[in-house]
């Protein structure tokens, strides 16, 4: 039986959503760490897990992250008219 595939999108890149109460806290840092833990746990259960980004600093637009969820990069002309709709569902983390 083929492995079930899961794609995790950590959402914001870099340093984003700084806490007004704790200046050292950024939502993007917390979610980045969380999605790496989720990947490790899910792989331990036998799932094949891909991430939409390989590093936190990489800025990928929403469409590019969607295509990453399908497992392939968008066409060179990534205008909305040139994009093919993804057939798999991907859910970004909040």
Residue 81: its pLDDT value, please? 47
Q: What is this structure's pTM?
A: 0.66
- Over residues 40-92, the pLDDT tens digits come to 998 998 888 888 888 888 888 877 877 777 755 444 444 454 455 545 555 55
- Over residues 24-53, the pLDDT tens digits come to 988 889 989 999 999 999 899 888 888 888
Average pLDDT rounded to a whole number, residues 5-33: 85
Q: Structural domain tally of the chain?
A: 1
3-state SS of 23-92 is CCCEHHHHHHHHHHHHHHHHHHCCCEEEECCCCCCCCCCHHHHHHHHHCCCCCCCCCHHHCCCCCCCCEE
Residue 33: which domain range? 5-92
Distance CA 32, CA 30 (A): 5
Residue 39: its pLDDT value, please? 92
């Amino acid at each position: 039986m083929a492995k079930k595939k899961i794609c995790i999108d950590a959402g914001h890149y870099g340093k984003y959503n700084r806490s007004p109460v704790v200046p050292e806290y950024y939502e993007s840092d917390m979610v980045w760490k969380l999605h790496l833990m989720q990947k490790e746990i899910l792989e331990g259960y036998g799932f094949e897990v891909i991430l939409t980004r390989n590093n936190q600093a990489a800025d990928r637009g929403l469409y590019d992250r969607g295509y990453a969820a399908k497992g392939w990069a968008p066409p060179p002309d990534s205008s909305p008219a040139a994009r093919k709709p993804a057939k798999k569902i991907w859910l970004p983390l909040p």
